[in-house]
Structure 1
Amino acid sequence: MNTDRAFLVIDMQQEDGFPLHGFDRVIHNSARLLDASRHAGIPILYTRHINAADGSDLPPGEPLDAVGRPLSYCAGTPQVEIIEHLAPRPGDWVIDKPRYSAFHRTDLDRKLRQLGVSRLVVSGVLTDACVLATVLDAFALGYGVDLIADACTSTTEAAHNAALLILANWVYAIELFSTAQYLKALEGAPCQSCRPTEPDQFAHSPEQFIATIARLQSALGLSQREQE
């Protein structure tokens, strides 16, 4: 088994409380990455965000329904399960987490260190919440990160891209890939990626936001159509 890295699939659950931009594309790309990772012998870990059904362990301000139950990711409901097309297989790990970061109050770090993992391949949702928090914690804990940009998404394309720019600006141990380019990398073929080399590499003013996103997409070898 290839244990210098692991593939972490974040919160690809049946939760339907909010729409996700380009989610079908993310599912398709995630399936391709899972197949390639299994073929390469890369350990696979899934996370599930789960809120206690009685609302007893929610952070302050978490939205509740009329009887005090979490509005999303409620324990004991089908919505917390991994979507069927990406379902874990025997030998995969599933990490249940109560907060955005997959490292917060979980044994993820211990499992990774037992496996000898030094680099995480990350995909999933939401780019600007659980993916962002997990990657920042992985960086703080000393892991390198390969983030597969088009295997992540959020509620809007703008939120997704804003999070990518934050990570590209400040996580020095990150390398961003498209799915197609990362699959080439796994095969040992020449590939294109974005490895930040300086702080705030994608700094921009508000009116430059769209142009800066295009610059990042170009670095990843992604066309606008592939992002939609």
Structure 2
Amino acid sequence: MHNSQSKSALLVMDMQNSVVSRFVGNEKALLPFQQAIEAARSYGIPVIYVRVAFRAGYPEISSRNKMFGGIASRAGTSAVPETMMHIHESLQPRPEEPIVTKLRVSAFAGSDLEVILRSLQIDTLILSGIATSGVVLSTLREAADKDFALTVLSDACIDADPEVHRVLTEKVFPHQAEVVSVETWVASLSS
């Protein structure tokens, strides 16, 4: 999991107010995310936040895109309020921690994430976020294809469907990533 020769980064994905408000019933669900962020910071592991956002008028959204196509028609030409794009207050980035804006499900889609990772010489990604079946799955697949070593923090991933979360973390993700709890990951950092 933690190789002293590797250079890791923690990705905190889609933890913006608009997403957290739809998926998280209480603040306790965010504790694993907070613990992962604190551990990464204390061990000098870069924390990179990823959010999805669009320009006013949604020129990036195709009507053919089943997941995002309805956003523009529901919102008209007005942009989503800026506060809904902010990272949830309990997981606030520090000024030096990048916030990457993506345009699709994967953290790499339409973003400068790969440039940042290359600049920091990152070869290992620790994934957390909402939703397990969305950003975590898409980012894991793309990152694996880009030859990153991967760890998924199973309790720092949330999905609307607990069974989908279970199947992904127990049966799908292990083919391309280490899947561990935040506690196990944090313990591995000190060994």
| Shorter-chain TM band | 0.7 to 0.9
1:167 equivalent to 2:170? Answer no
* Residue 39 in structure 1 maps to residue 42 in structure 2: yes
Paired with 1:42 and 1:11, the residues of 2 have a C-alpha distance of: 19
Change in CA separation of 1:137 and 1:54 when aligned onto 2, cut-off 3 Å:
same
Structure 1 letter corresponding to 2:55: A
> How many residue pairs align between the two structures?
181
Between the aligned residues of both structures, percent identity stands at 26
Matches of 2:75 and 2:138, distance apart in 1 = 29
Q: Secondary structure at the residue paired with 2:70?
A: coil
Further displaced range: 57-66 or 151-160: 57-66
In 2 relative to 1, CA 21–86 (structure 1 residues): closer, same or farther, beyond 3 Å?
closer
The 8 Å contact of residues 129 and 136 in structure 2, kept in 1 or not, is answered as yes
**C-alpha offsets along residues 107-147 of structure 1, whole Å, 9 cap, x if unaligned?**
11111111111100110111001111011111011101110
Distance, in Å, in 2 between the alignment partners of 1:112 and 1:129 is 21
Range with bigger deviation, 9-18 or 115-124: 9-18
Q: Are 2:124 and 1:119 equivalent residues in the alignment? A: yes
Structure-2 change in CA distance of 1:17 and 1:92 (3 Å): closer
AA paired with 1:48? R
TM-score normalised according to structure 1 size? 0.72
Shift of the 66–88 alpha-carbon distance from structure 1 to 2, 3 Å rule, reads closer
Distance (Å, rounded) in 2 between the aligned partners of 1:96 and 1:167: 24
Distance 1:52 1:155, change over 3 A: farther
- State the Cα RMSD in Å: 2.3
CA gap of 1:21–1:78, structure 2 versus 1, over 3 A, is closer
Contact preservation (8 Å) 1:124, 1:151: yes
Choose from 25, 28, 32 the match for 1:29: 32
Q: Is there any run of 5+ residues in structure 2 with no aligned partner, and where?
A: none
Gaps of 5+ in 1: 189-228
- The residue aligned with 2:101 is 96
Contact in 2 for aligned 1:3/1:115 (Cα 8 Å): no
Considering Cα pairs closer than 8 Å and 6+ residues apart, tell me whether 1 or 2 has the greater RCO. 2
The aligned counterpart of 1:149 is 154
Q: SS state of the match for residue 23, structure 2? A: coil
Number of the residue aligned with 1:132: 137
Question: What are the Cα deviations for residues 90-109 of structure 1, in whole angstroms up to 9, with x where unaligned?
Answer: 21111001101111121111
- Could you report, residue by residue, the CA deviation over 1:27-76 in whole angstroms, capped at 9, with x for unpaired residues? 11111111111110111100011133313211423223555359xxx544
The one-letter code sitting in structure 1 at the alignment partner of 2:135 is C
**Please, which of 2, 5, 26 is the counterpart of residue 8 of structure 2?**
5
The structural deviation recorded for 1:85 is: 0.8
Q: Match for 2:143: what amino acid?
A: A
